[in-house]
Chain A
């Protein structure tokens, strides 16, 4: 990675590990000075074993990373001047921001799962790997270690990829990510900011031309959109906490999202009858991609597995030629989550609201032979950004929970977590079709806003 202090940035932020399993260990710091001190020393000691963005000569069997909530930082008894330097959204915590992000009704903080509620989460230790047994044993060892060092271990959330990188509704997920300047792996068309192609772009390493649209090119986003201490799209480093936590850290949104697969499938069947669309096409119109990953904007009528597997082309598209949403509906999930050039002013009003996603499904696969299978399954949603308020919260509140930016009125995306009232989905066509989702098929079950410190910052916790 050029220009980035890879050794000092925790891993899985700029480049995903791509392990198939994860364990998320939550813990609280015990409420006494001795425990706070022990906990700080324990966290500082993790600065060495924690996995960073540095290049691997050989892929490790297991990775470990650490994140802290504001309550956790308080419980560690960090100095007031340092605590006060954190931004207001992070300090408030996810539960307190429920009004902003639409966590209401069945997804309101008061209903969240035990151990994932307001105040439950001080520290998150994320372990990832391929071997479930090794992960399980490591989780136990780390838990015991933490218990002996000032922590009260809490819940452990397991997660594991389903086959083919799919999520529980059946769609391949996780491969549409922002391209970050300086990270070589990211020079892929379609991940960055859509810009008008110019001849001098050939000399720019952060710009890659589109292969599907001769007028389009993709510019990688500045690292400061995701990692503190580097210039962001506004031309300077983003607001950051005070030193020594000011560099190489990031802010994480961790959310457990329960997916009602049976409900989604039942709604699709009913809406297919009403709209006249085939169920598969309807599902694709709700998501914006076919289950194989190929985007509707490029394949409006049928999926294309080859395109879905082609990393260089699968994200190489804009929406400018489809303003009415005939190919990909204006309210489709991926179009809302990353509007690309669909808003006014090209891609300029999207660039500051991108998020890196590093989540993973949880729970066993849905059994299609058992239509009433209401087992607990869904997505552990993990997003990383420099500003929770500007990035995650705006995507969730203004684009997923509300359709006004796309001319759709106050209608929410039914697979993104907050349908407070019935939401009529509009499918652009001649004539258009409509289907109302009475409720969301995705429900928040808990989580928190967390800070992922850089390695130097982590180490410094012992002496603050």
Chain B
């Protein structure tokens, strides 16, 4: 069985001294409420952050990294390409501060960079696998519709109910 969703986790090293600029770029180009992730389509959940790995000692704090993680409609390759085209500017603004990042202009180079930066996910627990974003949206709408029909139907005679059903389902 092919899973309807896949997970991506990637890590990229921020160049020395550019962590603050990377964070500012997230603030500016990745605003809450207007996320470039939405533009890619098929993005269930995603995050982007700058973080530092745990330090071995207090004196030497290791350099910071950008973490990009997403749970998306399969296949992943297609999503990566959609993200690249829809969010090239915001991606470059943040990842441009990372070592080895080739930019989002060229699809093959971008895909190679993603593959090289990917972390494998060793273990997952997924709340509700097996549905694309569009299927989830449709199912939520349907559920609301069923509840409304169930309540309205309480006051109807059988013939009214059947007529309402036909009107609703176009039967």
Point out residues on A near B: beta carbons under 8 Å. 273-276, 409, 424, 432-436
The distance in angstroms between the C-alpha atoms of A303 and B155, with both chains bound, is 27
7 closest residue pairs by CB, A with B: A434-B151, A274-B154, A274-B155, A434-B150, A424-B147, A275-B154, A436-B151
What is the distance, in angstroms, from A56's C-beta to the closest C-beta of chain B? Answer: 53
Return B36 CB to nearest CB of chain A, in Å: 26
On chain B, the residues within 8 Å of A435 by CB distance are 151
What residues on B are CB-neighbors of A273 within 8 Å? 155
Contacts of A276 in B (CB 8 A): 154
Q: Which residue of A lies closest to B148 (CB)?
A: A424
Which secondary structure dominates chain A's binding surface?
A: mixed
Least Cβ–Cβ distance between B125 and chain A, in angstroms: 15
Contacts A432-B150, A434-B154 known; list 12 others, CB within 8 Å.
A273-B155, A274-B151, A274-B154, A274-B155, A276-B154, A409-B143, A424-B147, A424-B151, A434-B147, A434-B150, A435-B151, A436-B151
User: Which residues of B are in contact with A by a Cβ distance under 8 Å?
Assistant: 143, 147, 150-151, 154-155
Between A and B, 17 residue pairs with Cβ closer than 8 Å are A273-B155, A274-B151, A274-B154, A274-B155, A275-B154, A276-B154, A409-B143, A424-B147, A424-B151, A432-B150, A433-B154, A434-B147, A434-B150, A434-B151, A434-B154, A435-B151, A436-B151
Expressed in whole angstroms, the Cα–Cα distance for A274 and B147 within the complex equals: 14
- Neighbouring A residues of B155 by C-beta, 8 Å: 273-274
User: Which residues of chain A are near B150, meaning CB under 8 Å?
Assistant: 432, 434
Secondary structure call for the B interface: helix
Q: What's the minimum C-beta distance from B80 to chain A, rounded to whole angstroms?
A: 32
- B147 surroundings in chain A (CB, below 8 A): 424, 434
| Residues of chain B contacted by A275 (CB below 8 angstroms) | 154
Chain B residue, CB-CB nearest to A431: B150
C-alpha gap A424/B150 in the complex (Å): 11
CA distance in complex: A433, B155 (Å): 11
Task: Please name the residue on chain B nearest to A275 by beta carbon.
Answer: B154
A276 and B151 CA atoms in complex are apart in Å by 12
Of all chain A residues, the one with the shortest Cβ separation from B147 is: A424
Chain B residue nearest to A435 in the complex (CB) = B151
Interfacial chain A residues near B154, Cβ < 8 Å: 274-276, 433-434
- In the bound assembly, the distance between CA atoms of A274 and B148 in angstroms comes to 13
When distances are taken between beta carbons in the complex, the residues of chain A under 8 Å from B143 are: 409
What residues on B are CB-neighbors of A409 within 8 Å?
A: 143
CA distance A436 to B154 in the complex (A): 12
- Tell me the minimal C-beta distance from B9 to chain A in angstroms: 27
A440 and B151 alpha carbons, distance in the complex (Å): 19
From A274, which residue of chain B is reached at the shortest CB distance?
Answer: B154
What CA separation (Å) do A434 and B155 show in the bound complex? 11
Distance to closest chain A CB from B157 (angstroms):
13
How far does the Cβ of A341 sit from chain B's closest Cβ, in whole Å? Answer: 23
Q: How far is the CB of A286 from chain B (nearest CB, A)?
A: 15
Determine the residue in chain B with the shortest Cβ distance to A411: B147
Q: How far is the CA of A275 from the CA of B151 in the complex (A)?
A: 8
B155 and chain A: residue at smallest CB distance: A274
List residues of chain B with CB within 8 A of the CB of A436.
Answer: 151
Q: How distant is the Cα of A258 from the Cα of B147 in the complex, in angstroms?
A: 30
Q: Give B136 Cβ to nearest chain A Cβ, in Å.
A: 14
Chain A nearest CB from B42 CB (Å) reads: 24
- Give complex CA distance A275, B152 in Å: 10
How far apart sit A424 and B155, CA to CA, in the bound complex (Å)?
15
Q: CB-CB < 8 A to B151: which residues of A?
A: 274, 424, 434-436
What B residues does A434 contact at CB under 8 A? 147, 150-151, 154
Chain B nearest CB from A290 CB (Å) reads: 23
Q: How far is the CA of A413 from the CA of B154 in the complex (A)?
A: 21
Complex CA–CA separation, A42 to B57 (angstroms): 52
